[in-house]
C-alpha cells in the first residue's frame, strides 16, 4: 500500500466518523449532511484512482504486477479489539465476518485452537501476578517462540579466579568460561472448563473475567508444583531436626557468593515451625522485614511460604520441605508466552454448557544444582 493511498484511507475513516457524529447532532441541517456525504464520495473516488495509479506503478516493463501483502499491525488498538471481538464470537458460536475469520486464522495454535487475544492474555498474566508464584525461585523467565531449543549456562562451581596478565602472555585455557548447553522442550499444560451457555451470552467483560480468573489460579498452582518438583530432582534431602540445624547448614553448605543472595522457600507447615521457634533469649527466630512488614526474615533472609498443596509435607516421616540458597540460579522457567483456546459444544450438550479447553506451554529446567540445598525440617509431634 502506497503512502498516498494510506493517507486517503485515513482521511476517509475520519470523515466517516465525523459524519456519524453529525447524524446524532441536534439541529443538523440537510445542507450539512449533503456536504459530509459529498466529501466521503469524493474521497472514495480518489481512493479508487490512487489504487489504479499504484497498480500501474507496480507493473515493471514486460513483467507481471507485483502484489504486496500488507501485514496488519497486531499491536494496534484496532487490531486487538477486532481480535478480541472475533474470539468472543467464535466462543459464542456467533457469525464471523471475513475480517474476523482472517484475524483468527492468523492466530491459530499448534493444536487447532486459537491463540487467546493479547488483551485477554494480559489480563490472565495480571491475575496470575496476584497469586504467590514460584517463578521467583527461577532465574528470569526465558520466552521462546519454539517448542524445543537450548540456552547456554555457566555454573558457579566452574568459575575460576582472575589470572595475573602480563603483556604478550597467553591466557590459560582453564581461565576461559565453561558454558554448557541446556536443552528444553515445552509441554502442553491445559484444562477444560464447562461454561454455562447462559454465561456465554453475558457481557464481554464478565465472560473474559470468568475464563481468565479460573485459568490463572489453575496455572499458578500447576506451575508452582512443577517448579518445586524440578528443584527436588537429584537432591538428597538434608535432615533438619530444628531451626538451629537449618542455620548451621545454611552457613556451611552454601558458597558465600550464593548465600549473599540466598533466601528460603517452604510450605505452611515448615513456616509454622520457624514462626513458632524461639532463640535462647526467648526471642522469635523469625523477624519482620523492616523494608516490607508482610515478609519474615530468618538469618536476615526472606522466608517465602507456599501452600501445602503445591509443596507437600512428608506425613509418613513428619517433616516439611524447605529450600535454601539461590534458587534463582537453580532452575529456569521457559515460556511460550501465549495461551491457546478451543471449544466443544458437544461434550456438555446435555448440561447446556460449552466445554472450553485452555492450554499454556512451558518447561522448567534445572540449571545450577549447587546453588541451593533441599532440606526437610522436623514437624512437632501431634
Euclidean distance between CA atoms 263 and 246, whole angstroms: 12
CATH code where residue 196 lies: 3.90.1690.10
- Residue 159's pLDDT is 62
381 in the same domain as 293: yes
Q: Same domain, yes or no, for 193 and 276?
A: yes
Q: What domain range includes position 36?
A: 3-57
pLDDT at 315: 93
Distance between CA atoms of residues 272 and 265, nearest Å = 13
369 vs 155: CA distance, rounded Å: 8
Is 26 part of any domain?
yes
CA 32/CA 22 separation, integer angstroms: 8
Q: How far apart are CA 303 and CA 297, in angstroms?
A: 6
What's residue 277's pLDDT?
95
Which of 337, 323, 303, 300 shows the shortest CA–CA distance to 369? 323
| Furthest-apart CA atoms within the chain: distance in Å | 95
Helices (H), the chain: 3-23, 30-57, 77-91, 98-105, 118-128, 197-200, 204-232, 243-253, 256-259, 268-276
Residue 85 lies in a domain: no
- Same-domain status, 51 and 191: no
Say what the pLDDT of residue 322 is. Answer: 97
How many C-beta atoms lie closer than 10 Å to residue 377's C-beta? 24
Question: Cβ distance 338 to 115 under 8 Å?
Answer: yes
Q: Return the pLDDT at 354.
A: 82
pLDDT value at position 155?
Answer: 64
The C-alpha cell of 148 is what?
Answer: 524445543
DSSP annotation of 198: H
From CA 116, how far away is CA 122, in angstroms rounded? 10
State residue 321's pLDDT score: 97
Q: Are residues 143 and 11 in the same domain?
A: no
Number of structural domains (the chain) is: 2
Alpha-carbon distance of 211 to 124, in angstroms, equals: 9
Instruction: Say yes or no: 205 and 303 in one domain.
Output: yes
* 104 falls within a domain: no
What was the pLDDT predicted at 209? 85
Instruction: Indicate whether 352 and 262 sit together in one domain.
Output: yes
DSSP-derived letter for residue 221 is: H
Q: Does residue 284 fall inside a structural domain?
A: yes
Burial class from Cβ neighbours inside 10 Å (0-12, 13-18, 19+) for residue 340 reads: buried
Q: What is the pLDDT of residue 171?
A: 57
What pLDDT, on the 0 to 100 scale, is given for residue 63?
A: 53
End-to-end CA distance of the chain: 75
Q: What is the pLDDT along the chain (382 residues), one digit of tens a residue?
A: 677 777 888 788 778 878 877 777 777 788 888 888 888 888 888 888 888 777 766 555 555 555 454 566 676 777 778 888 887 887 777 877 887 777 777 666 655 567 777 778 888 888 888 888 898 888 767 788 778 887 776 666 556 666 666 655 565 555 555 666 778 888 888 888 888 878 878 777 788 888 888 888 889 999 999 999 999 999 999 999 999 999 999 999 998 888 888 999 999 999 999 999 999 999 999 999 999 988 999 999 999 999 999 899 999 999 999 999 999 888 888 888 888 888 877 777 777 788 888 888 899 988 888 899 999 999 998 7
Amino acid at each position: 500500500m502506497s503512502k498516498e493511498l494510506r493517507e486517503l484511507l485515513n482521511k476517509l475513516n475520519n470523515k466517516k466518523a465525523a459524519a456519524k457524529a453529525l447524524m446524532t447532532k441536534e439541529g443538523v441541517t440537510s445542507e450539512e449532511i449533503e456536504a459530509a456525504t459529498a466529501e466521503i464520495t469524493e474521497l472514495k473516488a480518489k481512493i479508487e484512482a490512487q489504487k489504479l495509479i499504484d497498480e500501474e506503478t507496480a507493473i515493471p516493463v514486460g513483467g507481471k504486477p507485483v502484489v504486496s501483502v500488507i501485514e496488519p499491525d497486531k499491536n494496534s488498538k484496532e487490531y486487538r479489539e477486532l481480535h478480541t471481538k472475533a474470539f468472543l464470537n467464535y466462543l459464542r458460536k456467533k457469525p464471523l465476518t471475513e475480517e474476523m475469520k482472517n484475524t483468527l486464522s492468523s492466530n491459530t495454535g499448534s493444536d487447532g485452537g486459537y491463540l487467546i487475544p493479547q488483551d485477554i492474555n494480559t489480563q490472565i498474566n495480571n491475575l496470575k501476578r496476584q497469586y504467590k508464584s514460584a517463578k521467583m525461585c527461577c532465574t528470569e523467565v526465558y520466552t521462546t517462540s519454539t517448542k524445543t531449543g537450548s540456552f547456554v549456562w555457566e555454573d558457579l562451581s566452574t568459575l575460576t579466579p582472575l589470572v595475573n596478565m602480563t603483556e604478550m602472555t597467553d591466557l590459560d585455557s582453564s581461565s576461559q568460561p565453561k558454558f554448557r548447553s541446556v536443552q528444553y522442550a515445552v509441554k502442553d499444560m491445559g484444562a477444560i472448563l464447562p461454561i454455562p451457555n447462559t454465561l456465554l451470552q453475558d457481557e464481554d467483560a464478565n465472560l473474559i473475567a470468568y475464563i481468565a480468573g479460573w485459568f490463572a489460579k489453575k496455572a499458578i498452582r500447576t506451575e508452582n508444583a512443577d517448579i518445586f518438583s524440578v528443584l527436588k530432582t537429584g537432591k538428597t534431602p538434608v535432615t533438619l531436626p530444628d531451626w538451629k540445624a537449618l542455620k548451621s547448614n545454611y552457613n556451611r553448605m552454601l558458597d558465600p557468593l550464593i548465600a549473599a543472595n540466598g533466601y528460603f522457600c517452604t510450605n505452611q507447615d515448615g513456616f509454622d515451625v520457624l514462626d513458632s521457634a524461639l532463640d535462647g533469649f526467648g526471642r522469635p527466630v523469625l523477624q519482620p522485614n523492616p523494608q516490607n512488614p508482610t515478609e519474615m526474615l530468618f538469618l536476615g533472609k526472606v522466608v517465602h511460604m507456599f501452600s501445602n498443596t503445591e509443596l507437600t509435607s512428608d506425613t509418613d516421616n513428619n517433616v516439611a520441605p524447605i529450600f535454601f540458597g539461590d534458587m534463582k540460579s537453580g532452575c529456569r522457567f521457559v515460556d511460550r508466552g501465549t495461551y491457546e483456546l478451543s471449544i466443544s459444544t458437544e461434550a456438555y450438550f446435555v448440561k447446556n454448557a460449552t466445554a472450553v479447553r485452555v492450554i499454556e506451554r512451558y518447561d522448567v529446567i534445572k540449571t545450577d544444582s549447587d546453588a541451593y540445598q533441599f532440606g526437610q525440617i522436623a514437624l512437632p509431634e501431634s
